[in-house]
């Protein structure tokens, strides 16, 4: 697809080149944009975008969009295969190589993270009436982890738990402008998470995107974004840096509300003791 666009570039009109330039510069973002949204990003009409797709030899924009998504997916697969080959040829170094890759992702994230966005995220989480957290597929553990600790810090936190977009909408049914949605998604981005962000945006809720870069489609709807370097290690996504961002949120919220959080934890500890939550299935110093 990218080669096709480059080959046709010299024969494109001024408006068509705007579309081509945007796609070439935002390859991971573009497949998630509707024709109307792509047109808005380029400052042209939706109909011009549709004609661009047809000029490229596709029956309509949806076919063009699907081909572009397949192209990006293949690039990710090729990258994964290349890394798999490296590990296969260096079996004795797999452990160190993976650890070094994860460590590098955290170092890269230090340069990506914006302190103003981080502070804004803390404010939004504490001011919201209800906080919803959504992360699909490989990001589900991140959403669950964040939701677990947010429930210790404040009330009215809900982790959206579904692979069905209709069920996600049902769980977001009561969301409005006083609420917050935290969306977590990394390449390959989840369309379901993106749809949840779009829905929350329509409801005028505040939105925090935890994603990988300024080119992520998650940024289209977010009030603020927290970027973390993610990479694919063969079949597994490296989510160490995103987890560090989430830990930073938890710690920041704790420091801002230390007294109330301590009180919450004390009451939770009493509840756990009464229910024997950690008795019988956890080791203690006395065992």
The H or E element containing residue 133 is strand 131-135
Q: What is the pLDDT of residue 19?
A: 92
- Is a pLDDT exceeding 80 seen at residue 228? yes
Residue 8 clears pLDDT 70, i.e. is over it:
yes
CA 174 to CA 122: how far, in whole Å? Answer: 23
Please name the helix (run of DSSP H) or strand (run of DSSP E) that holds residue 134, with its range, or none.
Answer: strand 131-135
Tell me the pLDDT tens digit for each residue of 70-106: 777 666 655 555 555 555 556 667 777 788 788 888 8
pLDDT top residue among 215 and 183: 183
On the question of pLDDT at 39 being above 80, the answer is: yes
CATH topology match: 2-72 vs 111-256? no
* Banded pLDDT at 7 (limits 50, 70, 90): confident
Per-residue model confidence (pLDDT) at position 118: 95
Alpha-carbon gap, residue 220 to 41, rounded angstroms: 10
Query: 209-232 burial by CB neighbour count: b if 16+ within 10 A, else e?
Result: bbbbbebbbbbbbbbbbbbbbbbb
77-81, 156-160, 233-237: lowest mean pLDDT where?
A: 77-81
| Averaged pLDDT, 250-257 | 90
Residues 6+ apart with CB under 8 A from 251: none
- Quick one: what percent of the chain has pLDDT higher than 90? 38
What pLDDT score was predicted for residue 6? 86
Categorise residue 137: left if φ over 0, alpha if ψ from -120 to 50, beta otherwise.
Answer: left
Q: Reply yes or no on whether the pLDDT at 283 is more than 80.
A: no
pLDDT classification of 108: cutoffs 50, 70, 90? confident
Q: Is the pLDDT of residue 203 over 90?
A: yes
Range scoring the smallest mean pLDDT among 30-39, 94-103, 137-146: 94-103
- pLDDT tier for residue 287 given thresholds of 50, 70 and 90: very low
Give the integer Cα–Cα distance in Å for 191 and 196. Answer: 9
Instruction: Say if residue 59's pLDDT is above 60.
Output: yes
Please write down the HEC assignment for all residues of 206-243: EEEEEECCCCCHHHHCCCEEEECCCEEECCEEECHHHH
Q: Does the pLDDT of residue 20 top 60, yes or no?
A: yes
Q: Are 192 and 218 in contact (CB under 8 A)?
A: no
pLDDT higher than 80, residue 134: yes
Question: Buried b / exposed e across 124-159, counting CB within 10 Å, b at 16+?
Answer: bbeebebbbbbbbebbbebbebbbebbbebbeebbb
pLDDT at 196 over 90: yes
Mean predicted confidence (pLDDT) in 112-116: 88
**How far from chain centre, in Å, is Cα 162?**
16
C-alpha distances out from residue 253 to 153, 155, 246, Å: 7, 13, 11
CATH class, range 2-72: mainly alpha
Strand partners, 45: none
Domain range summary for the chain, segments of one domain joined by +: 2-72, 111-256
- Mean pLDDT of all residues belonging to the chain: 84
> Thinking of the domain 111-256, which architecture would CATH place it in?
3-Layer(aba) Sandwich (3.40)
233/166: higher pLDDT: 166
pLDDT recorded at residue 174: 93
């Amino acid at each position: 697809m990218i080669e096709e666009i480059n080959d046709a570039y010299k024969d494109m009109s001024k408006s068509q080149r705007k579309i081509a330039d945007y796609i070439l510069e935002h390859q991971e973002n573009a497949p998630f944009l509707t024709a109307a949204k792509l047109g808005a990003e380029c400052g042209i009409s939706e109909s011009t975008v549709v004609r661009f797709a047809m000029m490229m030899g596709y029956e309509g924009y949806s076919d063009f969009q699907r081909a572009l998504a397949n192209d990006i997916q293949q690039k990710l697969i090729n990258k994964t295969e290349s890394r798999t080959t490296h590990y296969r040829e260096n079996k004795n170094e797999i452990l160190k190589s993976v650890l070094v890759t994860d460590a590098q992702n955290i170092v890269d994230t230090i340069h990506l993270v914006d302190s103003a966005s981080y502070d804004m995220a803390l404010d939004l989480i504490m001011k919201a009436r209800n906080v919803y957290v959504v992360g699909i597929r490989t990001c589900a553990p991140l959403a669950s982890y964040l939701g677990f600790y947010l429930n210790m810090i404040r009330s009215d936190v809900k982790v959206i738990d579904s692979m069905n977009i209709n069920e996600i909408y049902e769980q977001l049914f009561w969301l409005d402008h006083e609420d917050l949605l935290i969306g977590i998604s990394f390449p390959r981005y989840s369309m379901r998470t993106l749809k949840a962000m779009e829905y929350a945006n329509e409801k005028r809720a505040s939105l925090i995107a935890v994603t990988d870069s300024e080119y992520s489609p998650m940024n289209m709807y977010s009030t603020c974004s927290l970027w973390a370097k993610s990479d694919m290690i063969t079949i597994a996504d490296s989510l160490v840096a995103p987890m560090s961002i989430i830990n930073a949120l938890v710690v920041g919220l704790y420091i801002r509300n230390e007294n109330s959080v301590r009180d919450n934890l004390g009451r939770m500890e009493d509840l756990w003791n009464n229910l024997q939550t950690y008795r019988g299935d956890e080791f203690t110093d006395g065992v």
